[in-house]
Amino acid sequence: MATAQATPARPARAGARRGPLAALRDRPAAAKLLLLALVAAVVVPLVHGRWGGGVWPDALTADLSAPLGEVTDWIVSNRDSHPLFLYFFGHISNAVVLSVRGVYLLLLALGWAGVTVFAAAVAWRAAGIRLALTAGVSFLLCGLLGMWVPTMQTLALMVVAVLASVVLGLLLGLAAGLFDRVFRVLRPVLDTMQVLPAFAYLLPVVLVFGIGVPGAVLATVVYAAPPMARLTALGLRGADGGVMEAVTSLGATGRQRLLSARLPLARKELLLGLNQTIMMALSMAVIASVIGAGGLGDRVYQALSSVDVGAALAAGIPIVLLAVVLDRTTEAAGRRIGAEPTGPALLRGWRGWSLAALVTAAVTAVGRAADGQVWPDDLTVAIAGPVNTAKDWMVDHLYTGVPVVGGTADLAAHFTSGVLNPLRSGLTGLPWWSVLLIVAALAWTIGTWRTAATAVLAMAAIGVLGVWEPSMDTLSQVLAAVAVTLVIGFGVAVGAARSARLERLLRPVLDVFQTMPQFVYLIPVVALFGVGRAPAAAAAVIYALPAVIRITTQGLRSVDPAAMEGARSLGATPGQQLRQVQIPLARPSLLLAVNQAVVLVLAVVIIGGLVGSGALGYEVVLGLAQGDLATGLVAGAAIVCLGLMLDRVTQPTTRRQRQES
């Protein structure tokens, strides 16, 4: 097994006398499948005879609800008395509450004018005048929409969570960046954490901290710290060896090497980590409204549960604005690093910053004097009403009976009955062992036996947990949404790779779409398709599309121009160039796009539980809503397993890539 894998495919020279074994060695995928088929031929009859086909056999499940229920009961009853909670979690929880409240009060004390000017000033110093304008206008819009207070609540939670994530991420990243052993242990953990849906993190946190701000902040930190840790470690490890040697040759101590060379050399990665951490924190802070985060996410959540699209949009727009401002500012700050300082010399360095602080203080003082701390009520624009009117019009005119195409609701119904239902019944109808076999075959053909083993184990764990059927339901939605995403995504990407104009048009759209938190995508699909499984799948498609289009376009475009030129010089048609040169050479990018599509789609399909997609996401929501944490925890574990399985199945062989590079 191992030898068949270790030897890469070699074109056999002496083709005349090749036995079947040699032929297999040249096609490792075939060899793997053959081996798997042999194993299956032996094992399946035994297994089938013992436990039968169909869904996962009851005999093989472990009912965890009783022990989990006991654990949750114990935690709930001991939360106020056990020393572990009193002296550890209790302190954490109090510290979080205090700091969030402190930041919130500070933001309120600054007043809307103070906060707006402060945001603009920071954006100006860090990223330039254009982003300062963007920031200022965005904050004013939040106020105009009547969302000032929830925006400040979300912001306060974000500030605390991002600070904690950055500190935690930096510490972990430093350890992993400086010590090989830590890196080897931490890297797979961080990589895995990045593919898990946000929903999976909610339950364990709620278990310990209960519903409320502390749990929300903690969940956000756990979700947002990994990119910081990962990029810090990679940045520190990627320091230019020549520079480090020169620094050593000058007699620098270990500390001097770290502070004056290694850390500054990793500044780009550190800022990229900060950017990703902020974006993930925002995404999670919004989702954490389900466990009591309050703020903008809560407004969207409440509005969605009563299908009040107008109110959801009024709270959703500030989320998008926050996302855009935070992303662009940190990104521009990262791009500025290492560039020559611009602007008048008077404003460089500390002078500019003190000017910014001065202006903020002045505006705050004026605002307080004018009693302008709270956004004036008469200055708001209520968009909920008009939006809902528009939505009602859509319901009347677009949902059904549109000539030719039908209507959005009809479309959704067709998609549900024509694609999702057959897929779901197909998946649940498959014998459970055949699902495992398919997973093994896919993962092993694309990856290594390790990824295959992880995937199969994760899938089996789902069965053991006793949530086979809801998991198959979720899986069917994921598969359908991924298929749609890939068809649209690859189609658009092929076009964008060929036409520079299309790519230029697409770029800003993709940029905005990629910054928006997952939660926001639920608003337009609910407006268009109502609630159910089809809208959740649609939201997942919209969420995953930008990444797929971008990765695929880049992959197709970065194909070696010499190879393309060669093909053209031989008179290949555009179609032939695409099929015979671009796609084969861009294969790693295409596989990565598939992997990303699966991971992103899963994240949103799970959140779709909030808009009636049922399955695992709904069980988590239900567990939270009814205080039945055991059910929620099992569903959460199944989500983790499903995420792990889907990621591993689509993960190309990293070992082979490393050898090639």
Partner 1 sequence: MTGTETLKATGNPGPAENPVFSVRDLWKVFGPRADRIPGGEHAALPPAELRAATGCTAAVRDVSFDVRKGEVFVVMGLSGSGKSTLVRCLTRLIEPTSGTIAIDGEDVLAMDRSRLRELRRHRAAMVFQHFGLLPHRTVLDNVAYGLEIQGLSKSERRSKAAELVAKVGLDGLEDRRPSQLSGGQQQRVGLARALAVDPSVLLFDEPFSALDPLIRREMQDEVVRLHREEGRTMVFITHDLSEALRLGTRIALMRDGGIVQLGTPEEIVGSPADDYVREFVRDVPREQVLTVATAMRPALAGESERGPAVRPEATVAEAIEAVSRSGDPAARVMDGGRLVGVVDHACLLDVVAGTTGPGHATASASGAPGTHTGPDAPDGAREVTF
State the residues that interact with partner 1 by CB under 8 A.
240, 242-243, 245-253, 256, 260-261, 264-265, 267, 337-338, 340
Nearer to partner 1, 17 or 255 (CB): 255
Nearer to partner 1, 274 or 281 (CB): 274
Burial of residue 153 (CB within 10 Å: 0-12, 13-18, 19+) is: buried
Q: How far is the CB of 268 from partner 1 (least distance, A)?
A: 10
- What token pair was written down for 414? 């067709």
627 dihedral zone (left: phi>0; alpha: psi -120 to 50; beta): left
Q: How far is the CB of 261 from partner 1 (least distance, A)?
A: 6
- What token pair was written down for 323? 């996302």
Q: How far is the CB of 336 from partner 1 (least distance, A)?
A: 12
Q: How far is the CB of 131 from partner 1 (least distance, A)?
A: 22
Nearer to partner 1, 265 or 319 (CB): 265
Return the residue matching tokens 């528009």.
Answer: 390
Q: How far is the CB of 256 from partner 1 (least distance, A)?
A: 6
Nearer to partner 1, 240 or 560 (CB): 240
Q: How far is the CB of 558 from partner 1 (least distance, A)?
A: 24
Q: How far is the CB of 239 from partner 1 (least distance, A)?
A: 11
User: Would you state the torsion angle of the CA atoms of residues 148, 149, 153, 154, taken in this order, to the nearest 10 degrees?
Assistant: -30
Nearer to partner 1, 137 or 247 (CB): 247
Nearer to partner 1, 52 or 341 (CB): 341
Nearer to partner 1, 205 or 265 (CB): 265
Distance CA 76, CA 611 (A): 29
253 dihedral zone (left: phi>0; alpha: psi -120 to 50; beta): beta
Nearer to partner 1, 261 or 479 (CB): 261
Nearer to partner 1, 343 or 426 (CB): 343
532 dihedral zone (left: phi>0; alpha: psi -120 to 50; beta): left
CA-based nearest residue to 233, from 259, 197, 253, 262: 262
Nearer to partner 1, 247 or 622 (CB): 247
Burial of residue 251 (CB within 10 Å: 0-12, 13-18, 19+) is: exposed
Distances (CA, A) of 81 to 70, 74, 76, 78, 90: 17, 11, 10, 5, 10
Q: How far is the CB of 242 from partner 1 (least distance, A)?
A: 4
Q: 364-397 burial string, b = 16+ CB within 10 Å, else e? A: beebeeeebbebeeeeeeebbeebbeebeebbee
Q: How far is the CB of 248 from partner 1 (least distance, A)?
A: 6
Q: How far is the CB of 237 from partner 1 (least distance, A)?
A: 17
DSSP for 128-187 reads -HHHHHHHHHHHHHHHHTT-HHHHHHHHHHHHHHHHHHHHHHHHHHHHHHH-HHHHHHHH
DSSP for 2-63 reads HHHHHSPP---S--TT--HHHHHHH-HHHHHHHHHHHHHHHHHHHHHHHH-SSSPPGGG---
- What token pair was written down for 64? 């965890």
Taking the CA atoms of the chain, what radius of gyration do you get in angstroms?
27
Nearer to partner 1, 265 or 272 (CB): 265
Cβ atoms of 287 and 227 closer than 8 Å: no
How many residues are recorded in the chain? 661
CB-CB neighbours of 183 under 10 Å: 18
CA angle at 149 for the pair 148 and 150, rounded to the nearest 5°: 95
Q: How far is the CB of 342 from partner 1 (least distance, A)?
A: 13
Nearer to partner 1, 66 or 345 (CB): 345
Cβ atoms of 555 and 590 closer than 8 Å: yes
Burial of residue 191 (CB within 10 Å: 0-12, 13-18, 19+) is: middle
Nearer to partner 1, 231 or 439 (CB): 231
Q: How far is the CB of 274 from partner 1 (least distance, A)?
A: 17
Q: How far is the CB of 182 from partner 1 (least distance, A)?
A: 23
Nearer to partner 1, 338 or 575 (CB): 338
Q: How far is the CB of 5 from partner 1 (least distance, A)?
A: 24
Distance CA 42, CA 32 (A): 16
CB-CB neighbours of 542 under 10 Å: 19
CB-CB neighbours of 188 under 10 Å: 10
Nearer to partner 1, 338 or 571 (CB): 338
Q: How far is the CB of 350 from partner 1 (least distance, A)?
A: 16
Cβ atoms of 207 and 629 closer than 8 Å: yes
Q: How far is the CB of 249 from partner 1 (least distance, A)?
A: 4
- What token pair was written down for 51? 């436990």
Nearer to partner 1, 83 or 344 (CB): 344
